[in-house]
Amino acid sequence: MNLLEKLDAAAAARKAQLPTGLSAFGIPIEEIYSPTEARIGERRILLLGTNNYLGLSFSPECRKAAHEAIDKEGTGTTGSRMANGNYSGHRALEMEFADFYHCRSCIVFTTGYQANLGTISGLIGAGDVALIDGDSHASIYDGCILSGADIIRFRHNDMADLEKRLRRLGDRSKNTLIIAEGIYSMLGDQAPLAEIVSLKNAYNSILLLDEAHSLGVLGETGQGLAEKTGLINQVDFITGTFSKSLCGIGGYCVSNHLQLDQLRYVSHPYIFTASPSPSTIAATRVALRLLRDGSKLREQLWRNARQLYSHLKMIGFQVGPEPGPVVATILDNPQQALALWNGLLENGIYVNLILPPAAPEGKSLVRCSVNAAHTSEQIEHVCQAFSKLHSSIIQ
């Protein structure tokens, strides 16, 4: 099979999962009206599949900052941080992130994906070990592959399994980077951080926590799971993204280890990428302030999350292990998931469809993401749509 035939085979496999003409992946959004509404085709649609957890995508303060930055500094930096793309705004944002986390160091990356790619591949290398949760995001897998370290998976959120694998490593556990996530993007569940910290201390390993989905969502000031659990000083490195609660694009790593700064000189995903645009940095700086002061937004977010999660559970859908802004409906097969996804779209609701092998355990998911800008009436409309579709989906 040549290179192009391999792509044809992949296309055929995808076509077998989805009926011809239905574009569940990459469906075009024609117009976007607000953090919760858009036009898809000719219909006004309720957005329930974004990562806009605090609903800040249309914040007047963020938009104003972005406009001003474009007027003052132009549309792009055209170069990397190591060359001509290191503006005072990038450094200011790094200092503001370090202050937010009460940490000594921060590096800003151009995307959240690159934050993991750059941090992981800078921290570990050939001969070291990456010990990662089985449900880790692709950016974690790819960062580990780029590093050249030995990659070992532990069963998702299974602490006995993590300990077993640490024990097997023997002395190598000292050169091991354990990687977990604050909130896992598929099922919306949280890592058992206290147990992970306890194991990493017992085996003298280093811990990286990816707070991509938990930034702005967990903890009093929105730092994430490390803040919620009071363990922020026990986590060696925290990565995250601007593209979810902060409604921009970019990523960061914070740490109390001053060695973090050395990554700027060894991490290819940091060195060989153009830096974030001035407007992105300016909007993110304002969004970070709003996030930090956003306890009311977090309260509304969690009200919405609990309302949807408890309703889906009550009417008999299988959902993720715990409530959260990511509410996953777990279906036995792709046909059920596709029927539910399509039924919701016909009811004016956009959600995410996730099919094997992307979904855990060979299942299929219809994944909803609620945000703080959803009204309780909008969530109620979603609940009613799920109720209406339940009997036709679950036999």
Partner 1 sequence: MAEINQEDILHLLSQRLASFANPELEITPETNLITQLAIDSIKLLNLIMELEDHFDISIPLNALTDVLTVRDLANLIYRIMSDSK
Contact positions vs partner 1 (CB under 8 A)? 129, 134, 144-145, 148-155, 164-165, 168-169, 356-357, 360, 362
Minimum distance between the CB of residue 373 and partner 1, rounded to whole angstroms?
Answer: 34
Tokens of 362: 């060979």
Tokens of 90: 């990038």
Q: Which is nearer to partner 1, 43 or 164 (CB)?
A: 164
Q: Which residues contact 29 (CB under 8 A, 6 or more apart)?
A: 38, 39, 40
Q: What is the CA radius of gyration of the chain?
A: 21
Q: Which is nearer to partner 1, 156 or 285 (CB)?
A: 156
Q: Which is nearer to partner 1, 147 or 304 (CB)?
A: 147
Minimum distance between the CB of residue 177 and partner 1, rounded to whole angstroms?
Answer: 13
Minimum distance between the CB of residue 172 and partner 1, rounded to whole angstroms?
Answer: 8
Minimum distance between the CB of residue 168 and partner 1, rounded to whole angstroms?
Answer: 5
Query: Which amino acid belongs to residue 77?
Result: T
Alpha-carbon torsion, ordered 317, 323, 324, 325, to 10 deg: 30
Q: Which residues contact 348 (CB under 8 A, 6 or more apart)?
A: 43, 44, 45, 46
> How far is it, in rounded angstroms, from Cα 50 to Cα 368?
8
Please answer whether residues 163 and 170 qualify as being in contact, where contact means their C-beta atoms are separated by less than 8 angstroms. Answer: no
Minimum distance between the CB of residue 336 and partner 1, rounded to whole angstroms?
Answer: 19
Q: Which is nearer to partner 1, 235 or 359 (CB)?
A: 359
Q: Which is nearer to partner 1, 106 or 129 (CB)?
A: 129
Q: Which is nearer to partner 1, 186 or 191 (CB)?
A: 186
Minimum distance between the CB of residue 167 and partner 1, rounded to whole angstroms?
Answer: 10
Q: Which is nearer to partner 1, 102 or 164 (CB)?
A: 164
Among candidate residues 323, 93, 349, 109, the one with its CA nearest the CA of residue 212? 109
Minimum distance between the CB of residue 152 and partner 1, rounded to whole angstroms?
Answer: 5
Where does residue 361 fall: left (phi above 0), alpha (psi -120 to 50 degrees), or beta otherwise?
A: left
Which of helix, strand or coil describes residue 283? helix
ω into 357 cis (within 30 of 0):
yes
Q: Which is nearer to partner 1, 149 or 290 (CB)?
A: 149
Using CA atoms, how far residue 238 sits from 135, 208, 294, in Å, is 18, 6, 20
Minimum distance between the CB of residue 13 and partner 1, rounded to whole angstroms?
Answer: 10
Burial class (CB in 10 A: 0-12, 13-18, 19+), 392: exposed
